[in-house]
Structure 1
């Protein structure tokens, strides 16, 4: 299904771009979040780069593998839960901008998970 492929590719590109931004500009993000260590940004960036590669690989398959898409959805869902946990409990003493950025990314990831879920449902209905 073309729409699901497009959503998967959008997820891959946005995750990859975010990951590369975190890897190459960790000082900028540490400053925004008002923390000293850049390590969490680099580590998160590496995770996102690997995740983006996975999502891209799943998205270009023909036919697309519903089980692999569900795995990506599960990872996206875990990201959203972890992000809102950090924001809700104000973990790590971050700046307001940091918490808002985490919440904003979580909303984007939730939208990706929602659209992927709708796409995988269409995929399984059309079989």
Structure 2
């Protein structure tokens, strides 16, 4: 993240910070990191639709087993679309079975839902890889 962006955020100059994030995306439209940063900025500011759009774009650009896809799944769960997030986690673990953070997130979600057997199975997948 550029110093100007950090300074804008520290000063709570949200318009300037947003411009900076958007400029980064415009400079590097295929940058997973730029789209994730923009999405996280919008999520922090409470703009769920714009956050989702940027996080989805980051996930589309990213490899299957990546923090960008995991971040989208977490965002979906936090915005009331847990089932959609769960499906995305399932897709990630199916196509990238060695991506442990996705298995960990599945285990956490199952545990929170008191689905202890499912949580245990997900943890076994972490240990098995």
* Coarse TM-score class (shorter-chain normalised): 0.3 to 0.5
Tell me which protein shows more helix as a share of its residues. Answer: 1
State the TM-score, normalizing by the size of structure 1. Answer: 0.35
Instruction: Tell me the TM-score normalized by structure 2.
Output: 0.34
Higher relative contact order (CA 8 A, sep 6+): 1
Greater gyration radius: 2
